Amino acid sequence: MWVFEETLADGSLLTKTINERHENTKYLPGYSIPENVIADPCLRSTVADADLLVFVLPHQFLRTISRQITGVLKPGARAISLIKGLDTQGNDIRLITDVIRETCLPAPASPGAEVVPMSVSALSGANVAHEVAAGQFCETTIGYHHTTSLSEALVWKALFNTPVFRVSCVPDLAGVELCGALKNVVALAAGFSDGMNQGGNTKAAVMRIGLLEIRDFAARFYRGIRHETFFESCGMADLITSCVGGRNWKVAREHAATGQDLASLEQTMLNGQKLQGILTAEEVYNFLSARGLLHSYPLFTAVHRICIGEIKASDMLKHI
């Protein structure tokens, strides 16, 4: 398991702590990591002989990582993305699985042979980390491209599926990814609502509007989106759990309740980690603005404007 090396408060290295204590004391304290999971700070050596690659990192660092591993990966390797976000180039948006497929290229099977891109799937669902680590029952969704054989997804299902981690597979890669990324924007809106002491009716309305905007965004800009995907764990279920207890919701609630700026709250509440919802809201805003479509997505638009201080959280309901 590749781990970005950090020096902890006590002066120890994060990878050494994980390997000796079998616990990620900074980001997932209190939960044991199996002893056969070895933290390695060297990215290239970690992935060099892997047949199956699981991508779990903040989406803004993906292209930096891809440059380091291209040409190192085994021919025939497969990948799955657990990344919740979107990739932007200028005012264009790309799916994370597309970026992985296009930039994380395996070595050729033989000298001079054509390089064959990896098959890439996506996993997303109502999977709050500490609850999964505690062995509490949950569901998740694996999305695979509709032109790809189900057998590709079933490889991943065989690895992830357990009695307490129930996996379903759907031929809607874009739908699964977009639900995973855009629900973070809606979770911010739900947090703003709760921070203003709005009731359950208001929060339900915010979530409903948010789900409609997610579905409309997906159907407008991507082919092959399945209506049923929004009722999988990656859709409505993940939206619900993100809006009642996720990190984006917690920080947004605190911002609306106290007026503290979001950057300071990230530092104090998240141990320095960044909220994916804030970055995704900006990316979506720029994408929609370039196409003259901000008016079609009032909730997405309002969330970004709150995040940059253009309007107050208390004004959100006027804009959606």
Which band of pLDDT confidence, cut at 50, 70 and 90, is reported for residue 235?
A: very high
Q: What is the dihedral of CA 13, 19, 23, 27, to 10 degrees?
A: 40
Q: Where are the domains of the chain?
A: 181-319
**At residue 68, does pLDDT exceed 90?**
yes
Which one-letter amino acid corresponds to residue 74?
K
**At residue 272, does pLDDT exceed 80?**
no
- Residue 136 is assigned to a ligand binding site: no
Which band of pLDDT confidence, cut at 50, 70 and 90, is reported for residue 292?
A: very high
> Rounded to an integer, what distance in angstroms lies between the CA atom of residue 174 and that of residue 284?
15
Q: What is residue 80's predicted lDDT score, i.e. its pLDDT?
A: 98
> Rounded to an integer, what distance in angstroms lies between the CA atom of residue 237 and that of residue 253?
20
Select the more confidently predicted residue: 36 or 116.
Answer: 36
- Residue 61 is assigned to a ligand binding site: yes
Select the more confidently predicted residue: 85 or 89.
Answer: 85
Catalytic residue among 16, 26, 74, 183: 183
Please give the structure tokens belonging to residue 237. Answer: 């279920």
26: annotated active-site residue: no
E-strand stretches of the chain: 52-55, 78-81, 87-89, 92-94, 119-124, 138-143, 165-170
- Among 233, 121, 114, smallest CA distance to 168 is for 233
Helix (H, G, I), strand (E, B) or coil at 170: strand
- Residue 276 is assigned to a ligand binding site: yes
- Model pLDDT for residues 7-30, shown as the tens digit of each residue: 999 999 999 999 999 999 999 999
Sign of the torsion formed by the C-alpha atoms of 175, 180, 185 and 191: positive
> Rounded to an integer, what distance in angstroms lies between the CA atom of residue 7 and that of residue 17?
10
Average pLDDT value for the chain: 95
> Rounded to an integer, what distance in angstroms lies between the CA atom of residue 278 and that of residue 294?
17
Please give the structure tokens belonging to residue 32. Answer: 């044991």
- Model pLDDT for residues 34-52, shown as the tens digit of each residue: 999 999 999 999 999 999 9
Q: What is residue 252's predicted lDDT score, i.e. its pLDDT?
A: 98
Helix (H, G, I), strand (E, B) or coil at 293: coil
Domain 181-319 coded CATH 3.30.559.30: no
Q: What single string gives the DSSP state of each residue in 86-108?
A: -EEETTEEE-HHHHHHHHSPBPP
**pTM higher than the cut 0.85:** yes
Q: What is residue 244's predicted lDDT score, i.e. its pLDDT?
A: 96
- Residue 4 is assigned to a ligand binding site: yes
